[in-house]
Structure 1
Amino acid sequence: MIGERIKKLRGQKGYSITELADLANVSKSYLSYIERNLNKNPSIHFLIKIANSLDVPIENLLLGIDEANYLKNTEEEILDKEWKKIIEKAIEDGIGKDDFREYINYIKFKIWEKNRK
């Protein structure tokens, strides 16, 4: 299953097995075993490398594209229009993910500091 998904996505990207293995910095033989379903339980570390190299969310490898799209649609329902606008504006202004994380940590610290007093 996972191997078939990897092979399909690799084909869609036009990568040979050697190219994907090189991009992901994984063993070509191990990748081949996974694609041929000789090993059906790859490590999460391996899957992250492959997903990143194929430029897809890891959910696409674990669940398949249809299921991953379902999750994506469910996630989108969680974010209302106001949140989406805030995020889009921040991105337009050049604020990156790391900036958001740093700001969130700052807010958490300020809340902790306030509650400590």
Structure 2
Amino acid sequence: MIGERVKKYREKQNMSLTELAERAGVAKSYISALERNIQKNPSVQFLEKVASELNITIDHLIKDDMDEDESSSGLDADWEELVREAMNSGVSKEEFKSFLEFNKWKLKNDD
């Protein structure tokens, strides 16, 4: 079951087995075996690596009842994508926080 979810989220992001394995630093053969339900008990460390690269929580891989359109953080898919884009483009948390603070200040002073 976990393997089916890994495959679902991997394919949802148009990511190949090889790409996920390389990005997560795990064996491609292990992911393949997991997705085909040959391997059934992945370690927490493995799940953390894979979930991180798939931009989901471990809960998404473990639980059947996770809402696909909304993560446990409560962010909708558009916000998640914006945050992902910011992270992938190299924007640091501090830069993002600075932008938010500037935007709050600007909105307050535009009144």
- Which runs of structure 2 are paired with 1:1-117 in the superposition (5 Å)? 1-64=1-64, 65-66=66-67, 91=97, 92-93=100-101
Letter in structure 2 aligned against 1:32: S
* 1:14 alignment partner, SS class: coil
Task: Tell me how far 1:70 sits from its aligned partner.
Answer: 8.9
Length-normalised TM-score, structure 2: 0.61
In the alignment of these two chains, the number of paired residues is 78
Length-normalised TM-score, structure 1: 0.58
Q: Structure 1, residues 27-79: CA drift from partner, whole Å, max 9, x if none?
A: 00011111111011100000000000001011101113339x69667xxxxxx
Q: Distance in 2 between the 1:66 and 1:18 partners? A: 27
Bigger Rg, which one? 1
Q: Distance in 2 between the 1:70 and 1:50 partners? A: 16
Q: Distance in 2 between the 1:93 and 1:56 partners? A: 27
Q: Distance in 2 between the 1:59 and 1:2 partners? A: 10
The structure with the largest helix share of the pair is 1
Structure 1 runs (4+) deviating above 4 angstroms are 69-73
Q: Distance in 1 between the 2:41 and 2:17 partners? A: 19
Unpaired runs of at least 5, structure 1: 74-90, 95-117
